[in-house]
Structure 1
Amino acid sequence: MKRLGGLFSALCLAGLLAGLWMIWKIEPTPVPTPQPEAPGAPGQGWQWPDFRLPEFRLPEISLPDIFSRPPARPEGPIASPVERILVEKSARRMTVWQKDGPPKSFDIALGFSPDGDKSREGDGRTPEGVFRIDRLNRQSKYHLSLGIDYPQRHHREAARRAGHSPGGDIMIHGQPNQVPDGYKVKGDWTAGCIAVTNPEIEEIFAHAAIGTEVEIRP
């Protein structure tokens, strides 16, 4: 019996030792360490603040159109004394300045050979330079005319040296009396004068005076 009791005690001691060994060998289950969430990920934890830059738009700026011209304003009639007349041959334009009111431009016809300064009778050229109105003719064969003081002294002297006549009877006038009323002769058709329509010469004639300056440019 003593042997059986000793064996039983030995077996109990061995079982106790085996149990302690098994407990020591079992590793505890690792507890996961919380990781910080990625920026913008859903869930708990710190997140980047929802920050947006304000929307910026350039203001709309309309630049002026420098190539476009405003519509031309209609010119009023010559209704006060004429102070100056400018003839631009190359532009076929005559501008009349009046005392009260804006200037007014007229389309013109010139001599049948308009290029260059007049030098002799019959050359078909309109003279160039600064002149004066020296006569008003209501009996003109061109429906009213304003005579200018060509030839002047230097024109006569130049023509005398060249041995020919300087010509004369240079005028600002209307259409030939023999053409129908309202008709306008086409092109450059005068013998050296400056021609406008009949209503236009009536408008200028009514306010022009002897001594008014007339400048004729090439």
Structure 2
Amino acid sequence: MSRRTLFLTALGLLLLVVTLAGYTKVMARIAPGTPPAMAEASARADAITVDKGARRLTLWRAGLPIRAYDISLGAAPEGHKTREGDERTPVGDYVIDWRNARSFAHLSLHVSYPAHADIAAAEARGEDPGGMIMIHGLPNGWGALGRLHLLWDWTDGCMAVTNAEMAEIWSLVPDGTPITITD
């Protein structure tokens, strides 16, 4: 392959990436997720488990599973998240501590990572533990991909579901819900 062909190919790929990123940002501004109403208190989850190995997120109520979803994880899913940019999904016990109806993806619920132990371990290594771990739908404007997103782990450490599933999760999971993530 000639240098010119290589250069033009690289330039074309760069333009594609910039265009797709721009499209996602524009869609986040003009088509943010509209949050559904919360489900009746008697129907809401009181716990969440995530089995990273099975790529499965389960909502629980009174010790019984009420919903389960296939998920995509971070691009490097094995092991515990230890630093910013490692593209891992953390392992441990956390809490859903806030929600964002206007995120880059269709709705999102924040996982309370990093916990004090995560921060201390990262500081001991001289690293930033990272953060902004969410359960979210597909990037705004990309909802038509639906379950195709499950073909690969593509997030930066989050847990992704389809937009319809995210709307259901949003309505069933109140802030303060504990979430346990295992390998």
One fold, TM greater than 0.5?
A: yes
Deviating runs (4+, > 4 A) in structure 1? Answer: none
CA gap of 1:154–1:91, structure 2 versus 1, over 3 A, is same
- Tell me how far 1:105 sits from its aligned partner: 1.2
Partners of 1:102 and 1:113 in 2: CA distance: 28
Higher helix residue share: 2
Question: Corresponding residue for 1:33?
Answer: none
Query: Does 2:138 match 1:175?
Result: yes
Out of 49, 65, 80, which is 1:86 matched to?
Answer: 49
Question: Corresponding residue for 2:179?
Answer: 214
Instruction: Give CA deviations for 1:87-139 in whole Å, capped at 9, x if unaligned.
Output: 0000111111136x852211010000001100000001000000000101111
Out of 74, 80, 90, which is 1:111 matched to?
Answer: 74
Structure with higher Rg: it is 1
Normalised by the length of structure 1, the TM-score is 0.61
For 2:100, the aligned partner's letter is N
- Tell me how far 1:201 sits from its aligned partner: 0.7
RMSD: 1.9
Out of 166, 169, 177, which is 1:201 matched to?
Answer: 166
Q: Secondary structure at the match of 2:172?
A: coil
For 1:118, the aligned partner's letter is K
User: Contact 1:182/1:198 (CA < 8 Å) preserved in 2?
Assistant: no
User: Contact 2:50/2:58 (CA < 8 Å) preserved in 1?
Assistant: yes
Percent identity of equivalent pairs:
44
Instruction: Give CA deviations for 1:45-99 in whole Å, capped at 9, x if unaligned.
Output: xxxxxxxxxxxxxxxxxxxxxxxxxxxxxxxxx8711111100000111111136
- Correspondence list, 1:64-213, <5 A: 80-98=43-61, 102-183=65-146, 184-185=148-149, 186-213=151-178
Structure 1 segments unaligned to the other structure (5+ residues): 1-77
For 1:105, the aligned partner's letter is A
Partners of 1:216 and 1:162 in 2: CA distance: 23
Instruction: Give CA deviations for 1:182-202 in whole Å, capped at 9, x if unaligned.
Output: 534231000000001100010
CA gap of 1:128–1:208, structure 2 versus 1, over 3 A, is same
Question: Corresponding residue for 1:25?
Answer: none
Partners of 1:118 and 1:138 in 2: CA distance: 25
Larger RCO, structures 1/2 (Cα 8 Å, 6+ apart): 2
- Tell me how far 1:179 sits from its aligned partner: 1.4
Partners of 2:177 and 2:171 in 1: CA distance: 13
Higher strand residue share: 2
Total equivalences in the alignment: 141
Instruction: Give CA deviations for 1:18-51 in whole Å, capped at 9, x if unaligned.
Output: xxxxxxxxxxxxxxxxxxxxxxxxxxxxxxxxxx
Partners of 1:119 and 1:130 in 2: CA distance: 15
